[in-house]
Chains A and B, each alone.
Chain A
Amino acid sequence: MFPGIPMLNYDVVVIGGGPAGMAAAARAKELGLNVLLLDENDYLGGILPQCIHPGFGLHYFREELTGPEFAARLAKRLVELGVEYRTAARVMEIRNYSDLEKVVIFTSPSGAYQAWAKAVIYAAGARERHAFEIGIVGDRVAGVYTAGEAQTLMDIYGVLPGKEIVIVGSGDVGLIMARRFALEGAKVKAVIELMPYPGGLARNVMILRDFDIPLYLSHKVVEVRGKGRVERVKVVKVDENLNEIPGSEFWIEADALIISAGLVPSVKKLTAIGVEIDPSTGGPVVNDRLETSVPGVFAAGNALLINDLVDYVAEQGELAAEGAKEFIENGGIESRKWIRVEKGENVRLLAPHRLSGERDVYLYLRVARPMEDVELRIPEVGKRVKLSLATPAEMLRVKLKAEEIRDAEKLTVEVVRE
């Protein structure tokens, strides 16, 4: 198909060497598949090597690890299993040659290749929203970084991006970066949060108290000014409808503005082959094998939906590998029917979207508003799960057993007061 470039053959090609991709590749190999794992970075691990704080792996390894430790464990497993992987290998294009054959074109320091596979697992992670996307105006100066970029600069390359910091967003990533800066002796002048409640887990919100960092809820950063570097940022208060309150503006002097305003699944290579996207997750629509709308193309990790726990990411990788195995063996993922899963009251997003009812499945979902003492309900099958707290910051994961849902036509998931 691409004369002149070397052709490789596999059962599965896994795109992305973060925790989702590594777990997928390892599981695929365990299941006896011939697998190739590709990542564009010089190292495996995705964003984990830059997350030098603890908080990873409690479910998956039953031990609290740092990001690099978590990545190293998965990498060790890959090596022990003899999984073939390539780093500095960027997938340029996926081609859906037929329902049963895919071609993955990648480039690397040893050249471009066409890797043919029966199934593809897409685990390319996410990108961060940046300053322009959230409507910040003013000067285009140095010192405006996304949290991940600042983290890469500090923890991969040893560069300190600034010493007087304002952080946009109080999600876990923003809070962890606040601590990271404080630990390096920088002054974190404020964390600015648009919503009336913090976006991160309670234990991470504690960081602000520990380091005496002011949190401005119901505020947003609207403007950055400076000559070469950031000099000051303009903050404004918003009302309950998120509209700006005139006259409430004030300036904070700072030399860096860190944007931690959420992640967006990286799906361009999927949309290019016509994979259906769920606007609420930003990732693909998938069935309970994590197969997308294009047969034989699976998705896992942050490319599927934004996860806060790496453990779930790895779990999704394994699930996708199991799906690939089934796909290859049966020439497709079979189901007598697909049960649609729909968002009900207070559910902002969820995946998977279609269930066979023939196997147990984990549902991953996020609520729209924080609420205490709630119940997750699926009225069609009379399912109820009590939850002491549900916040948008924390992804909920519920197990549905095949026998519980088998007879349903559709499931509506809601999170409501008891």
Chain B
Amino acid sequence: MKTKVAIIGAGISGASIARVLSRYENLEVHLIEKAPDVGWGVSKANTALIHGGYDDDPERYPMRAKLCIRGNRLWHQWVKELEIPHIWNGALIVATKDDDFDELEKLLERGRKNGVPEMRLVDREELFHLEPNLTPEAIGALWVPIVGQIGPIPAVIAITENAVANGVKTHLETEVTGIKVENGEVKGVETNNGFIEADIVINAAGLYADRIARMAGIDYFEIHPRKGEYWLFDEGLPGPRRVLFPTPTPISKGIVVTTEVSGHLMIGPNAQDLPPEEKEDLSTTREGLEEVWEGAKKLWPQLPPRSKVIRTFAGLRPEPTGGDFIIKAEEEVGGFINVAGIRSPGLTSAPAIAHEVAGIIERDLGVKLVEKEKWNPYRKEISHLFMMSPEGVNEAVKRNPSYGKVVCRCNNVSEGDVLEAIERMKFIGVKTPSVDSVKFRTKATTGTCQGSFCRPKIVMLLAREYGVEPWKVTLKGRGSEIGVGDVKALLRGDA
């Protein structure tokens, strides 16, 4: 008989756990997510860095220190197996005053302790060779070549697709409302879509991990949101080649200046603590954005004019009591595993978190894991017109003419790309058609015009493929419908 596993939350943590557990013959894995698609929680809005693992103090935050560097190493493999957009461009932690070197020395020391390879201090001359447009105030830096960047939601999508291909069942738009515990053992989870039986429940609910834990009677920690805001600039504007950090202060890693995976200059985040109940407040604020602007200018004085901004956004870090990741089987409740407080560097650590959880299942819950004879580690990315040569386009249009038809002009996304994205959405069980689901798979709507040309076209494709009326297509799930009806709805009096 198979052991039934329910994973709550399809963020980077939950998805990674699902993928790792999909390897085992004797597990039946269910991935449960309240949002219409995967990766829309904390994993959606962050700096997208695969950190170097040098800044978490192993004494105070042992889990973070251990899993970050392991995660970094695993990502080097996962991005290849799963065709996740990535770049290994390294990071510079920049010193602007003599005192900063004390801090950089400390980081170097800590990095060595955590097992980070190939870090070193670079002097001013080498620094400007690596990054010519850096602030002239810079006097040296810590150089961490293993740092990289990925597409975080594309990563969650890729991992989930691979997990599903290996037998994981997804339950989207399914909110866990209770956890059934009998005689100190979990029996399953209650949801808005009925009861899901489980022998093991894994709580990977991001900002809500405290709420889920309380459903199982565990209340020793609380999660509060810490907001970070960002500016994203139009493509083609000069940005750094490396990830640039200021020398950290005791409270923050500081505001990063980077060219993100798609080639856009991005600055952020700041850090603002919100009360525990404000877990949905993803609004940007002028104060926060100004703070980011000022901070970024210190490293990168030639910020483009504000008219070159194409987007601002905010993310919420799930900050746990104590500050370290809480990853363990809870003794009071048999079969309940917390993967809670996965704050930064949670994205980096996710693959390592997943292996840690597999270890906990075997070691602490005593389930002997049996590997499948055939487990597929690979997943193919959808087609992208922007990656095709003209000859490639001609090959693709032989299969389907829609590959030659551009939908998003800023990012060169074809109708064929969009149709493939919709197919993949259906493959992992996305039920409510949304523009954001297409956006995260194709990059449509993320360019200079921010979707004003292509969004209507995408809405029509979604409406057709999902068989719904166009105004009922959503931007990002129920409650965010594109329109209120057909153009005559108000005059007829039915909207």
Contacts and interface: CB of A to CB of B under 8 A. Distances in A.
Interface of A: 2-5, 40, 88, 90, 92, 105, 107-112, 114, 127-128, 130-133, 135, 137-142, 145-146, 148-149, 152-163, 184-186, 222-223, 225, 227-229, 255, 268
Contacts of B485: 160
Contact of A133 (B307, B459, B487): B307
A139 B471 CA distance: 21
Interface in B472-495: 474-491, 495
B302 interface: no
A399 B307 CA distance: 34
Contact of B475 (A2, A137, A142, A163): A142
Contacts of B495: 160, 163
A189 to B, nearest CB: 14
A142 B390 contact: no
Given A137-B289, A142-B481, A228-B477, A159 B309 contact: no
Contacts of A2: 390-391
Contact of B283 (A3, A107, A138, A255): A138
B397 interface: yes
Interface of B: 236, 280, 282-286, 289, 306-307, 309-313, 385, 390-391, 393-394, 397, 401-402, 404-406, 409, 412, 414, 448-453, 455-456, 459-460, 470-471, 474-491, 495
Contact of A158 (B286, B475, B486): B486
A227 B311 CA distance: 19
A108 B405 contact: yes
A241 B406 CA distance: 43
Nearest to A124: B409
B486 to A, nearest CB: 5
B406 A107 contact: yes
**Nearest 7 CB-CB pairs, A to B?**
A228-B479, A185-B490, A228-B480, A109-B401, A142-B475, A90-B406, A112-B390
B interface, by DSSP: helix, strand, loop or mixed? mixed
Contacts of B460: 157
Contacts of A152: 456
25 contacts: A90-B405, A90-B409, A92-B412, A107-B393, A107-B414, A110-B404, A111-B397, A112-B393, A130-B310, A131-B450, A132-B311, A132-B312, A135-B306, A137-B285, A139-B283, A141-B480, A145-B452, A146-B452, A149-B451, A159-B483, A160-B488, A163-B484, A227-B280, A228-B480, A255-B484
B390 to A, nearest CB: 4
B478 A154 contact: no
A280 to B, nearest CB: 13
B406 A228 contact: no
A110 B307 contact: no
Nearest to B400: A109
Nearest to B289: A137
Contacts of B483: 153, 159-162
Contacts of A229: 479-481
A121 B489 CA distance: 42
A81 to B, nearest CB: 27
A247 B478 CA distance: 35
A110 B484 contact: no
Quick one: which of B285, B393, B452 has the most chain A CB within 10 A? Answer: B452
Contacts of A131: 450
A158 B487 contact: yes
B480 A160 contact: no
A142 B476 contact: yes
B394 A159 contact: no
A149 B284 CA distance: 23
Contacts of A4: 390-391, 394
A159 B470 contact: yes
A158 B471 CA distance: 9
Contacts of A185: 490-491
B27 to A, nearest CB: 36
A127 B452 contact: yes
